[in-house]
Amino acid sequence: NAGVMQNPRHLVRRRGQEARLRCSPVKGHSHVYWYRQLPEEGLKFMVYLQKENIIDESGMPKERFSAEFPKEGPSILRIQQVVRGDSAAYFCASSPVIVATYNEQFFGPGTRLTVL
Amino acid sequence: KNEVEQSPQNLTAQEGEFITINCSYSVGISALHWLQQHPGGGIVSLFMLSSGKKKHGRLIATINIQEKHSSLHITASHPRDSAVYICAVNFPGGGADGLTFGKGTHLIIQP
């Protein structure tokens, strides 16, 4: 069984370019979360998605950042017009259909974005 | 404000020592997670618990709901246990299921 997959593992972009980060959840999982880990800082929640729906994007910067989880294919975190402050590790996690008030999240290996 | 505090921030110990990492949170939670992150690596979920105690190999996690406190213990520590250990919680309400994280405990086990 494949776990959460993220690609690319490392991404280098110049200021002003776009970054697209992909996350394939565990097979059968319908919930995806994106987290960001800035250098020397802890992890921070960005967005929570179910298939074709954004459930909570309270942690997403209001501009330049967007996320989607289409019916088919991976979840995409898109950063437009990247700036140096976007350099971070971006982690995706997935969980199965929620049957209780909480659920275990399975993390991907992360994408390390470097903005030059 | 929903906060998660971990202690200690850094911990260096000798191989074989019993390790304890603490986590406190500010308000009631739905669940608490202990995660492990190796340098430059991904994140592994060690435990998820909402009450009591869980054990997996040399790792033990406990939670006291009344005191809003959890501990992660490592018995017979080994250099390969060196990693960052992160406490994370699900705060209920608001429709979000995203985790709130502590800053992590950097553990180094010396041979």
Reduced 3-state DSSP string for A29-65: CCEEEEEEECCCCCEEEEEEEECCEEEECCCCCCCCE
Q: Which residues of B touch A48 (CB under 8 A)?
A: 96-98
Q: What is the pLDDT of residue A100?
A: 56
In chain B, what residues touch A59 (CB-CB under 8 Å)? 98
For CA atoms A21, A16, B40, B44, the dihedral sign is negative
User: What is the per-residue pLDDT across B84-107, written as a single tens digit (0 to 9) for each?
Assistant: 999 999 877 644 567 889 999 999
Asked if B95 and A106 come within 8 Å (Cβ–Cβ), the reply is no
Q: What is the pLDDT of residues A37-51, one digit of tens each?
A: 988 888 999 999 998
* Residues of chain B found within 8 Å of residue A69, distances taken between Cβ atoms: none
CA distance B6 to B2: 14
What is the average per-residue pLDDT within B54-60? 96
Nearest CB neighbour to A107, from listed B30, B43, B100:
B43
Is residue A76 exposed (0-12), middle (13-18) or buried (19+ Cβ within 10 Å)?
middle
**pLDDT > 90 fraction of chain B, expressed in percent and rounded:** 71
- CA A30 to chain B, closest CA, distance in angstroms equals 13
Cβ distance B86 to A43 less than 8 Å, yes or no, reads: yes
Measured between CB atoms, which of A101, A105, A108 is closest to B99?
A: A105
Q: How confident is the model at residue A114 (pLDDT cuts 50, 70, 90)?
A: very high
pLDDT of the residue at B103 = 92
Question: Which pLDDT value is given to residue B94?
Answer: 44
Q: What share of chain A is helix, strand, coil (3-state, %, to 5)?
A: 5, 50, 50
For residue A86, pLDDT beyond 70: yes
pLDDT at position B81 over 90 = yes
Residue from A29, A105, A111 to probe the interface with B (highest B Cβ count within 10 Å): A105
Name all contacts of A54-59 with Cβ < 8 Å and 24+ positions apart: A55/B95, A55/B96, A55/B97, A56/B94, A56/B95, A56/B96, A56/B97, A56/B98, A58/B94, A58/B96, A59/B98
Hey, is the C-beta of A83 within 8 angstroms of any chain B C-beta? no
d(CA A2, CA A4): 7
The string of pLDDT tens digits covering residues B14-50 is: 999 999 999 999 888 778 999 999 887 789 999 999 8
> What pLDDT, on a 0 to 100 scale, did the predictor assign at position A30?
87
Q: Which two tokens stand for residue A59?
A: 């942690």
Strand (E) or helix (H) holding A19: strand A19-24
Q: pLDDT, tens digit, for every residue of A71-80?
A: 999 999 999 9
Residue of B nearest to A57 (CA): B96
List the single residue in B with minimal CA-CA distance to A90.
Answer: B42
pLDDT band at A28 (very low <50, low <70, confident <90, very high): confident
- CB distance A44–B101 less than 8 Å? yes
Return the HEC string of chain B: CCCEEEECCEEEEECCCCEEEEEEECCCCCEEEEEEECCCCCEEEEEEECCEEEEECCEEEEEECCCCEEEEEECCCCHHHCEEEEEEEECCCCCCCCCEECCCEEEEEEC
Q: Closest CB to B101: pick one of A43, A103, A109.
A: A43
- Asked if A104 and B48 count as a contact pair (C-beta separation under 8 A), the reply is yes
Please judge whether B97 and A48 are an interchain contact, meaning their C-beta atoms are less than 8 angstroms apart: yes
Question: Is residue A29 predicted with pLDDT exceeding 50?
Answer: yes
pLDDT: which is higher, B40 or B13: B13
